[in-house]
């Protein structure tokens, strides 16, 4: 699936000459967190959003720095902060480094852009860098919600386990999937399958690895249920 399949084409935008007050009203009116800034030719020149408006003199949220911290930060940083907090035009406040994509960009790459740049929306531009749409985190969530979740034990027609239809083939499919993952310690986990129910046992390095193995097993086509009896040597570090 590509960006063109999920993007919004009726995009709310701002101009560099718009006021910060106008943008704040647009964000509230359209219930959005940010919008692209475009010039008179619809070229994307920036992004402005809620994060850009957090520190404002009008609301009393501008930075207050002690003397020694001002000295450490230097004139350039302090001047840039002043413009961000007191500037009235969008061009003073907007972020100019914008992550963009094209209509043909795969949604997987869109997700990587959102994650890498820590943003919630990616403008979609044509070959001339003109705005043609936007993809947001919400669009990816909607795409997930539209997917039909397979029932436990549901088999894909092209899966070996589906063709064979027995526990031995299903066990082979599970082990093959586990062995293909870079996080698994080879030979640390074994699986038995009876009537589509997989029993996972063995010893893994961490709780994270234990969880990942369980997810890999339960999402293997043909598995109806999982009993996880594996043991973890170390506690969870990520996602605890």
Q: Distance between CA 132 and CA 54 in Å, rounded?
A: 28
d(CA 16, CA 26): 14
Residue 162: pLDDT band by 50, 70, 90 thresholds? very low
Residue 140, pLDDT > 50, answer yes
Examine residue 194 and state whether it is found in any structural domain, yes or no. Answer: yes
- Measured distance CA(165)–CA(167) in Å, rounded: 7
Please check whether residues 140 and 197 belong to one and the same domain: no
Between CA 139 and CA 101 the distance in angstroms is: 15
Looking at the fold, whether 76 and 189 belong to one and the same domain comes out as no
Q: Cα separation of 74 and 80, whole Å?
A: 10
Q: Which CATH number fits the domain that encloses residue 101? A: 3.10.580.10
Q: What is the pTM of this model?
A: 0.66
- Residue 185 has a pLDDT of 77
Residue 155 lies in a domain: no
Contacts 24+ apart (CB under 8 A), 9-15: 9/132, 9/133, 11/35, 11/36, 11/123, 11/131, 11/133, 11/134, 13/37, 13/38, 13/131, 14/38, 14/48, 14/90, 14/94, 15/39, 15/40, 15/90
Per the structure block, which two tokens stand in for 129?
Answer: 């860098």
Q: Residue 151: inside a domain, yes or no?
A: no
Task: Let me know whether 193 and 140 are in one domain.
Answer: no
What is the DSSP pairing of strand 34-38 with strand 231-234?
unpaired
Nearest alpha carbon to residue 48 among 82, 24, 64, 31: 24
Question: pLDDT-derived band of residue 40, with 50, 70 and 90 as boundaries?
Answer: very high
Q: What is the span of the domain harbouring residue 57?
A: 3-146
The tally of domains found in the chain comes to 2
pLDDT in tens, 194-216: 999 999 999 888 888 899 999 99
The reported pLDDT for the residue numbered 164 is 46
Amino acid 69: pLDDT = 65
- Contact yes or no for 189/200 (Cβ under 8 A): yes
If asked whether residues 56 and 104 sit together in one domain, one would say yes
* Residues 81 and 23 grouped into a single domain: yes
Residues 50 and 98 sit within 8 Å (Cβ to Cβ): no
Together in a domain, 36 and 117:
yes
Q: CB of 48 within 8 A of CB of 95?
A: yes
Q: What is the pLDDT of residues 110-124, one digit of tens each?
A: 999 999 999 999 999
**Cα–Cα dist 183/208, whole Å:** 9
175/136 same-domain check: no
**Residues 167 and 192 reside in one and the same domain:** yes
Tell me, yes or no, whether 39 and 114 share the same domain: yes
Whole-number pLDDT of residue 150: 61
How far apart are the C-alpha atoms of 187 and 189, rounded to whole Å?
A: 6
Quote the CA–CA distance of 51 and 61 in Å, as a whole number: 12
Co-location of 95 and 55 in the same domain: yes
Q: Do 88 and 193 share a domain, yes or no? A: no
pLDDT band at 161 (very low <50, low <70, confident <90, very high): very low
Distance from C-alpha of 16 to C-alpha of 47, rounded to nearest angstrom: 10
For the segment 175-192, the average pLDDT, to the nearest whole number, is: 86
Q: Are residues 123 and 180 in the same domain?
A: no
């Amino acid at each position: 699936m590509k960006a063109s399949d999920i993007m919004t084409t009726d995009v709310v935008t701002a101009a560099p000459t718009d006021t910060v007050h106008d943008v704040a009203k647009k964000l509230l009116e359209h219930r959005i967190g940010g919008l692209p800034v475009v010039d008179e030719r619809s070229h994307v020149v920036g992004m402005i959003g809620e994060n850009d408006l957090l520190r404002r003199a009008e609301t009393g949220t501008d930075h207050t720095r002690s003397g020694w911290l001002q000295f450490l930060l230097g004139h350039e940083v302090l001047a840039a902060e002043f413009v961000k907090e007191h500037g009235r035009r969008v061009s003073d406040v907007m972020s100019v480094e914008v992550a963009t994509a094209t209509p043909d960009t795969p949604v997987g790459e869109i997700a990587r852009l959102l994650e890498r740049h820590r943003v919630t929306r990616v403008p979609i531009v044509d070959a001339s860098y003109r705005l043609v749409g936007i993809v947001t985190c919400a669009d990816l969530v909607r795409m997930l919600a539209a997917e039909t979740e397979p029932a436990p034990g549901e088999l894909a027609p092209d899966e070996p386990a589906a063709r064979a239809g027995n526990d031995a083939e299903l066990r082979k499919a599970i082990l093959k999937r586990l062995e293909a993952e870079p996080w698994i310690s080879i030979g640390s986990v074994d699986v038995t399958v009876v009537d589509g129910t997989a029993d996972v046992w063995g010893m893994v390095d961490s709780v994270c690895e234990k969880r990942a193995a369980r997810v890999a097993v339960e999402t293997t086509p043909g598995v109806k249920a999982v009993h996880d009896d594996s043991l973890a040597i170390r506690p969870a570090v990520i996602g605890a």
